[in-house]
Amino acid sequence: CPRWEEEKMADGVKWKQLEHRGPYFAPLYEPLPDDVQFYYDGKPLKLSLATEEIATFYAKMLDHEYTTKEIFQNNFFNDWRKEMTPQEQKIIKHLDKCDFREIHKYFVDKNEARKALSKEEKQKLKEEADKIQEEYGYCILDGHREKIGNFKTEPPGLFRGRGDHPKMGMLKKRIMPEDVVINCSKDSKIPEPPAGHKWKEVRFDNTVTWLASWTENIQNSLKYIMLNPSSKLKGEKDWQKYEVARKLKDVVHKIRAQYQADWKSKEMKKRQRAVALYFIDKLALRAGNEKEEGETADTVGCCSLRVEHIKLHPKLDGQEHVVEFDFLGKDSIRYYNKVSVEKPVFKNLQLFMKNKDPGDDLFDRLTTVILNKHLQNLMNGLTAKVFRTYNASITLQEQLKALTNPEDNVAGKLLSYNRANRAVAILCNHQRSTPKTFEKSMQNLQSKIDAKKQQLEKAQQELKKAEDEFEDAKDAKAEANVQKKKKLLERLKEQLAKLNVQATDKEENKQIALGTSKLNYLDPRISIAWCKKFGVPIEKIYNKTQREKFAWAIDMTDEDFEF
């Protein structure tokens, strides 16, 4: 039987046996060669090893826009000075007098040299990496050899953060064995720490699925080494996630009827909860947790929206009751949207905003805790995220039904698939900035299209010529030649159509990130059923890693699957 259908364990128990080698630690710092210098105020300055290492982090990023941002520069310089020797602190007082250019050039050259390695040398490096993967990248879980997701600790460096994160540029410290908690089974071979070191702690906790954990120093958040998405445990969890979202399908009408009734409730608390739930359902907003002031970027979700984040327009662009949203969501991604809402929602928002300052909470009687407790009462396992998963999956399924033309060739069907996926990404606000290489790759594609058009014209002329020759000769050889030229013309037409589809797809996709929803919000069974129904190879939708992640779905889905 497939391994996700093996015997179920007692509640809360995730495994009986877990054995692994522990994390693979980032390699130690290699000092710069003597002829690569750091300059301060125009003069070369030999740095102590710890100070030099941190200088290389900044030097490597010189051509990145991060190092032009003041907040990044200040945070870096602050943290760098803390690690300097007292003598260095006396000399190095201003970042703008520091010259990292020689160090930067050294790393650029090193990178180029690595790219220029011969095939054999690259193969040798790959074999070394594979050896580490073999040794550290697998664990034994209940008798199965399972792949580990990220078995290496993050190397030290400078924190980047997304958007305008207040902590960008701060020093991410090196993770040592003394920082790491190991989790494995009691009777297993407990991993050995690197020589001369010891683990922070060894645990035998079979109610969690992580293998090792540590606290990173910037946000004080816990980092984990987890199983690879293709593993049995992760596959089961993924499957359950979509099953919960499918359960919502049966009760969503009831939930909608209830929150619509609550818009008229006598209790302000209920009204706010009902409007927030409407946003989460209709716009797939995230719930938005409370956060420590000043600790993190100022990002919000539905429950933490402030008055300044929305504008109300009784009429706008020919629509009534329009709410204009403008705020920074998760990872500092801007959410900007103008939505026509139901009249009672609009009236309630006017009420919620009355006598409030721009910085006041829109839903002042609501927290994510209150909201999620309410959702849990409506349906077991229901959270705001389940709404996102449900609405994303249902949108994909409906869009695929509406957009797919069974007569199209595979390229045409894939364009329809990507358009359906785009509808979901737009709903979930999964944006990206236009890739740096976009213009260039678009030009390359255009030249391919132009070349193909010329080939097509030439083929049309040759067909005409062949037909004329057949008119004159009327023999079998001339007839075969006409058929040959016709086939070539058909093939070229098909190739041109395919290139045009690619160009359309690329253009429509330049500012939308399809991957996030494809991996996290869309039930893979919808896509697999669509592939089987319309004769599209699954590998056109999911690459090898994704097919491993969704092996559970590929195993169990036929073309009639309905979300």
Catalytic center residues = 521
Q: Alpha helix locations (H) across 84-188?
A: 86-91, 101-115, 119-136
Q: In what helix (H) or strand (E) does residue 462 lie, and over which residues does it extend?
A: helix 438-473
Listed in sequence order, the residues at least 6 apart from 317 whose beta carbon sits closer than 8 Å to its beta carbon are 338
Is there a contact between 94 and 135 (Cβ–Cβ < 8 Å)? no
Closest of 14, 88, 84 to residue 50, by C-alpha: 84
Interacting residues of 533 by C-beta distance below 8 A, sequence separation 6+:
559
Most distant pair of Cα atoms in the chain: their distance: 97
CA pair distance 30, 24, nearest whole angstrom: 18
Among candidate residues 457, 297, 304, 431, the one with its CA nearest the CA of residue 366? 304
Residue 508: CB partners within 8 Å, gap ≥ 6? 418, 419, 422
Task: Name the packing angle between helices 268-283 and 368-378 (round to 10°).
Answer: 80
CA angle 200, 204, 208 (to 5 degrees): 100
Listed residue (87, 85, 100, 81) closest to 49, CA to CA = 85
* Cβ neighbours of residue 342 closer than 8 Å, sequence gap 6 or more: 260, 263, 278, 321
For 311, the token pair is 């504008």
Residue-by-residue DSSP string for 183-240: E--TTS-PPPPSTT---SEEE--TTS--SEEEE-TTT--EEEE-B-TTSHHHHHHHHH
The residue length of the chain stands at 563
Question: Torsions phi, psi of 173, nearest 5?
Answer: -80, 160
Helix (H, G, I), strand (E, B), or coil: what is residue 346? helix
The strand pair at 157-158 and 171-172 is best described as: antiparallel
Q: Which residues contact 458 (CB under 8 A, 6 or more apart)?
A: none
Query: Tokens standing for 144?
Result: 């199965």
Query: Given strand 18-19, what is the order of strands in its sheet?
Result: 18-19, 138-141, 144-147
* Helix (H) or strand (E) run with residue 180 in it: none
What angle in degrees, to the nearest 10, is found between the helix axes of 49-60 and 101-115? 70
Q: Could you give the CA distance from residue 359 to residue 307 in angstroms, rounded to a whole number?
A: 6
Q: State both tokens at 356.
A: 């409030």
β-strands 201-203, 181-183 pairing: parallel
Place of tokens 């014209």: 457
